[in-house]
Amino acid sequence: GKSTLFNRLTRSRDALVADLPGLTRDRIYGDGKIGDRPYIVVDTGGLGGDEENITGQMAAQARQAMKEADAILLLVDGRHGLSAGDEQVADYLRQLGKRVFVAVNKSEGANTHVISADFQSLGLGQPYAISAAHGDGIGALMEAVLADLPRVTDGSEEAEDGSIRVAVVGRPNVGKSTLINRMLGEERVVVFDEAGTTRDSIYIPYERDGQRYVLIDTAGVRRRARVEDAIEKFSIVKTLQAIDAAHVVIMVMDASEGVHAQDTGLAGMVVERGRAMVIAINKWDGLSQDQRQVVKTDIDRRLPFLEFAKFHFISALHGSGVGDLFGTVVNAYQAAMRKFPTPQLTRTLEGAVSGYPPPLVHGRRIKLRYAHQGGSNPPLIIVHGNQAEAVPATYQRYLVNTFRKVLRLQGTPLRMEFKTGVNPYAGKKNVLTPRQIEKRRRLQRHHKKDAR
């Protein structure tokens, strides 16, 4: 029942990522949330009951997932009772020294005390009786799992000291460690290591030109002696945590290899999580003019969904172009965190609709009335109107592009939600809508101009 529990915890049937280093079909990642506590779930192929299976490929994937995890759920079958395989896996888990929770699945309709008592002999604490299929006991289990874990920094929140949190991500061997060391070593004012809020990431506060930053390292900046290693460890969980905690993500790509399939997968993951982005095409100095043109053509063809991001062509090893990243990071951060007044957003919506009206749906015209901001990093614009939920995807893209152009947003994704509902101003006397307020202001300015 592992996949059933995974779907229950993530409220989804989809894998989060599919083609990244260290990730096979036997390890699937997803996001979940209990109350205000987000978490990442890793679904493994499982561990078998014999030694040959445990040393197999599927077991290797499960062991890698356990190594990355802060907590481990050992799922057992309440209907079949304790098995020799359960005991063998429990012996292995005890040796890891991790926080382990025993979840007794398929417990619906049974006496939970009786069904749990059978598994107490595993020596991993009080078992939790659950039903992954029906959701019974899931809430209590996850509250226990999250109780002792630190709260995660949210990239949608501005830092109190004005710091910009920057995560450097990329597949192995593209030059992340070299870039990080170059960024920290160039005109640095304050640099020191500080334990992060997540278990594996390293948070490094530093300053440049009066602006504070917190670098979220996913490349192992402390292992300076091994920066030039041909193989870098790559943790999916560590990268996801860094992306979520960041205000801006610098994604590093290797120009000598062009746009790799794993580059597009990782970039899509950053966009899906809504973070502002800066793209650093590394090792640019080693390419001929013809090779550079091939790479740029490849970027246009394979990364059209990154049109909002600015590309920098750099050499982390020699430092060329690295200094320019900071200004782009600041601009992307400011765009992601901007606040927009409702009248401005409503005017932009009216201009877009006037220039290109929405299509008819079932013979009826879609009427989009007003817009307001629903959040930051990424900016979220909520559009209200009649039949708003029927707005086609092509028209949604048109609106996103229009808002991005009018609001001059570069470096950040822009999200839009469409809501159909009762006009909140209907039936209220002497209460004007944002559009009516703006119309009245324009008339007042017009009259004053005539009077002068």
CA distance 380 to 194: 32
Q: What angle do CA 30, 36, 42 make, to 5 degrees?
A: 20
Q: Please, are residues 215 and 203 in contact by the beta-carbon 8 Å criterion?
A: yes
Closest listed residue to residue 239, CA positions, set 12, 2, 21, 26? 21
Closest listed residue to residue 353, CA positions, set 300, 406, 286? 406
Show the 3-state SS of 272-320. Answer: HCCCEEEEEEECHHHCCHHHHHHHHHHHHHHCHHHCCCEEEECCCCCCC
pTM for the complete prediction?
Answer: 0.74
What confidence score (pLDDT) does residue 336 get?
A: 96
Structure tokens of 162?
Answer: 């004005």
What confidence score (pLDDT) does residue 198 get?
A: 34
Q: Please, are residues 176 and 219 in contact by the beta-carbon 8 Å criterion?
A: yes
What confidence score (pLDDT) does residue 24 get?
A: 41
Beta pairing, strands 415-420 & 380-386? parallel
Instruction: Tell me the per-residue pLDDT of 231-274, one tens digit each, with 9 for 90 and over.
Output: 344 567 778 888 998 999 999 999 999 898 888 988 988 998 99
What confidence score (pLDDT) does residue 365 get?
A: 86
What confidence score (pLDDT) does residue 222 get?
A: 38
What confidence score (pLDDT) does residue 423 get?
A: 52
Residue ranges in the chain modelled with pLDDT below 50 = 15-25, 49-55, 186-199, 220-233
What confidence score (pLDDT) does residue 55 get?
A: 46
Closest listed residue to residue 214, CA positions, set 222, 204, 223? 204
Show the 3-state SS of the chain. Answer: CHHHHHHHHHCCCCCCCCCCCCCCCCEEEEEEEECCEEEEEEEECCCCCCHHHHCCHHHHHHHHHHHHCCEEEEEEECCCCCCHHHHHHHHHHHHHCCEEEEEEECCCCCCHHHHHHCCHHHCCCCCEECCCCCCCCHHHHHHHHHHCCCCCCCCCCCCCCCCEEEEEECCCCCCHHHHHHHHHHCCCCCECCEECCCCCCEEEEEEECCEEEEEEECCCCCCHHHCCCCCCCCCHHHHHHHHHHCCEEEEEEEHHHCCCHHHHHHHHHHHHCCCEEEEEEECHHHCCHHHHHHHHHHHHHHCHHHCCCEEEECCCCCCCCCCHHHHHHHHHHHHHHCCCCHHHHHHHHHHHHHHCCCCEECCEECEEEEEEEEECCCCEEEEEEECHHHCCHHHHHHHHHHHHHHHCCCCCCCEEEEEECCCCCCCCCCCCCHHHHHHHHHHHHHHHHHHC
Q: Please, are residues 214 and 166 in contact by the beta-carbon 8 Å criterion?
A: yes
What confidence score (pLDDT) does residue 436 get?
A: 74
Q: Give the mean pLDDT of the chain.
A: 82
CA distance 287 to 308: 25
- Give the other-Cβ count within 10 Å of 225's Cβ: 7
CA distances from 312 to 151, 316, 321 (A): 34, 11, 7
Structure tokens of 354?
Answer: 């006037």
CA distance 131 to 379: 38
Task: Tell me how long the chain is.
Answer: 452
What confidence score (pLDDT) does residue 57 get?
A: 64
CA distance 267 to 269: 5
CA distance 221 to 88: 37
